[in-house]
Amino acid sequence: MLTRVLLTLVKAGVIRPLGPRGLAGTVRGYLQWDITLAWGYQTGAGRHPDRAAIIDDDGVLTYAEVHERTSRLAHAFRAGERIGLLCRNHRGFIETMTACTKIGADAVLLNTGLSKGQLAQVAQDQKIDRIVADREFADVLPDVPTYFSDELESLIINGPKTPLPRRPPRGRLIILTSGTTGTPKGAKRPEPASLAPAAALLSRIPLKHGDVIAITSPLFHAWGLAAFQLGLVLGATLVLRRRFDPAQTLQDAEKCTAMFVVPVMLQRMLETPHRPKLRIIASSGSALPPRVATRTLQEFGPVLYNLYGSTEVSWASIATPEEILKEPGTAGQPPLGTRLAIVDDQGKPVAPGETGRIFVGNEMLFDGYTNGTSKESLNGLMSTGDLGYVKDGLLFVAGRDDEMIVSGGENVYPREVEDLLSNLDGVTEVAVLGVPDDEFGQRLAAFVVGDETLTADHVRDHVKANLARFSVPRDVFFVNELPRNAAGKVLKRQLREQV
């Protein structure tokens, strides 16, 4: 295992010969801050000080500049303090997170789509001492001391150059769950103890040292955070924009080698005619519709990688372009050092091809929710909360285990119907969910975004011709758009209220 990790890191250029300055920066950073964001930027300042670390709407910052600026900013916080970040994608988000690691403060990543009431509840639940926020969110902020992100520059300029404590208390990183089914919970994410987690992702996504990576997915989301952390390990240049604009993103991509997206953003970019040459498009955060996957491969070439995971388990599997071309709906295979099990309700492995509960083991399983609860575990593996099956060595996700319905005594999976309808001509987006039914217990309802040629009978007939009769949605609603949170996930609870 160790040999495979080392070979993967060498192949990606993470491990390579260092000059005296680079070696000194790496060693000093490790002795000062262990393997953290702070170590990453001090290492970068030693290995490639003049390389662009961040390109955003405000300009360019080099690795040396980010290292110095975050050391100054760290003096604005206190060890043990809990800092909430309510920011879009820009330097202030990254610099605040890094400053927290340098002083030993906790960082709570807040979803920019939360309401005032939700933010107040989260601030109370997570015991947030201070918030760093973009000024556009001023009207929804709870009654907590706040630095606005446009004030960070002054804090940095006026911050002292005095040394920071060596090996400060290890600050916690807390990510909120999506909140698609209720109030978001805080998930405690572990700090990597080594570079093995990076090697796991690099074993299936062939990023390279020095890549230029556009991160379109929100940094507060697990996928955007993973892109940032992996990019730092690679000494990459990160391209950030406060707001996602398909045309702007594709224009940025002209100077990039890789891009991290959530599926709805990829779909929006496919509606724009520009096609820059990229080596990697990495997608995650929600289900990737098979039609979107197929069209991406057709129009951008064999560059699409699809990661399946969650806030709690980090990653479970990654599909390569070759696997997606063969099976557009696949979630791929587990990467290096990852274990996968599909089990029944009694925890026993199911036969290949049979649907069961997905359990995953890797080095980055979360440490539990901040309210003291956790996910179900089994023999060192953790539940993803999803159902799936393995066919020909590839994982397929059938949907959430709490979304499966029993209609007339038959198990029905909404995800299967969604994937089928996403390939129907005229359908742009679709969401399928279970609703109560007096006769059958539950039935399916479909919400479709599409063109005017579609009818409810057209939708039902397509499902009837391809799936079992209990999978045919009795209710078909045509809508202008699907409600989504800031990370691009469909808010099915809002749709359920319309039935």
Radius of gyration of the chain (CA): 23
Q: Counting every residue, how long is the chain?
A: 499
Task: Mark which of 171, 192, 223 sits at the end of a domain.
Answer: 171
355-367 pLDDT tens trace: 999 999 999 999 9
Say if 198 falls within a structural domain.
Answer: no
> pLDDT tier at 486 (50, 70, 90 boundaries)?
confident
**pLDDT tens string 40-70:** 999 999 999 999 999 999 999 999 999 999 9
pLDDT at 440: 79
Domain count, the chain: 3
Distance of CA 460 to the CA centre of its chain: 33
**What's the confidence (pLDDT) of residue 407?**
85
- 395 lies in the same domain as 418: no
Whole-angstrom Cα distance, residue 180 to residue 341?
26
**Phi first, then psi: what are they for 357, rounded to 5°?**
-85, 140
| DSSP symbols for 354-383 | --EEEEEE-TT----BTTS----EETTEEE
Check residue 360 and give its pLDDT.
Answer: 98
pLDDT at 182: 58
| Residue 59 sits in the same domain as residue 155 | yes
146 sits in which H/E element: strand 146-148
pLDDT at 21 > cutoff 90: no
Among 150, 171, 192, give the residue marking a domain's end: 171
Same domain, 251 and 373: yes
Domain that holds residue 478: 405-496
Domain identity same for 158 and 248: no
Per the prediction, the chain carries an average pLDDT of: 94
| pLDDT mean over 165-178 | 90
144-156 burial by CB neighbour count: b if 16+ within 10 A, else e?
A: bebbbbeebeebb
Please check the confidence at residue 338 and state whether its pLDDT lies above 80. Answer: yes
Residue 317: which pLDDT band, with cuts at 50, 70 and 90? very high
Question: Quick one: pLDDT at residue 192?
Answer: 83
SS3 assignment, position 471: helix
Rounded Cα gap, residues 366 and 382, in angstroms: 9
Residues 148 and 268 grouped into a single domain: no
3-class DSSP state of 279: coil
Residue range 105-119: mean pLDDT, rounded: 93
Can you give the CATH number for the domain in which 148 is found?
Answer: 3.40.50.12780
Give yes or no for a contact between 403 and 384, defined as CB atoms under 8 angstroms apart: no
Residue 89 pLDDT > 90, yes or no?
A: yes
Instruction: Tell me what pLDDT residue 180 has.
Output: 55
For residue 32, the one-letter residue type is: Q
pTM, to two decimals:
0.92
* DSSP element (H, E) containing 123: helix 116-125
- Asked if 222 and 158 sit in the same domain, the reply is no
* Contact yes or no for 223/262 (Cβ under 8 A): yes
**Residue 189 belongs to a domain:** no
Neighbours of 183 (CB within 10 A): 13
How would you label 6-42 residue by residue, b for 16+ Cβ within 10 Å and e otherwise? eebbeebebbeeeeeebeebbeebeebbbbbbbbbbb
pLDDT at 490 over 80: yes
pLDDT tens, residue by residue, 423-445? 999 999 999 999 988 887 899 99
How far, in Å, CA of 273 to CA of 246, rounded?
10
Q: Give the end of a domain, one of 171, 198, 232.
A: 171
Domain CATH number, residue 473: 3.30.300.30
Q: Do 240 and 380 belong together in one domain?
A: yes
Q: Are residues 319 and 412 in the same domain?
A: no
CB 109, CB 85: distance < 8 Å: yes
- The predicted pLDDT at position 410 comes to 82
- Domain assignment present for residue 192? The answer is no
Rounded CA-CA distance 277/300 in Å is 7
Domain-located, residue 200: no
Confidence of residue 498 (pLDDT cuts 50, 70, 90): confident
Say what the pLDDT of residue 177 is: 84
Q: Which amino acid is at 425?
A: D
- Residue 406 confidence (pLDDT): 86
Each residue of 130-142: pLDDT tens digit?
Answer: 999 999 999 999 9
User: Is the same domain home to 342 and 458?
Assistant: no
Asked if the structure places residue 177 within a domain, the reply is: no
Is 187 a domain residue? no
What percent of the chain is helix, strand and coil (3-state, nearest 5)?
35, 25, 40
Average pLDDT over residues 232-254: 97
Say what percent of the chain tops pLDDT 70: 99
Structure tokens at 159: 């911050």
Same domain, 221 and 267: yes
The pLDDT value recorded for residue 266 is 95
Q: What is the mean pLDDT of residues 36-41?
A: 95
Q: Quick one: pLDDT at residue 181?
A: 52
- pLDDT of 216 > 60? The answer is yes
Residue pLDDT, tens place only, 114-162: 989 999 999 999 999 999 999 999 999 999 999 999 999 999 999 998 8
Lowest-pLDDT range of 20-24, 347-351, 383-387: 20-24
Distance (Å, whole) CA 418 – CA 397? 12
Q: For residues 348 and 445, state if they share a domain.
A: no
Residue 463's pLDDT is 95
Look at 130-134, 146-150, 290-294, 400-404 and tell me which has the smallest mean pLDDT. 400-404
Residue 355 and residue 471 in one domain: no
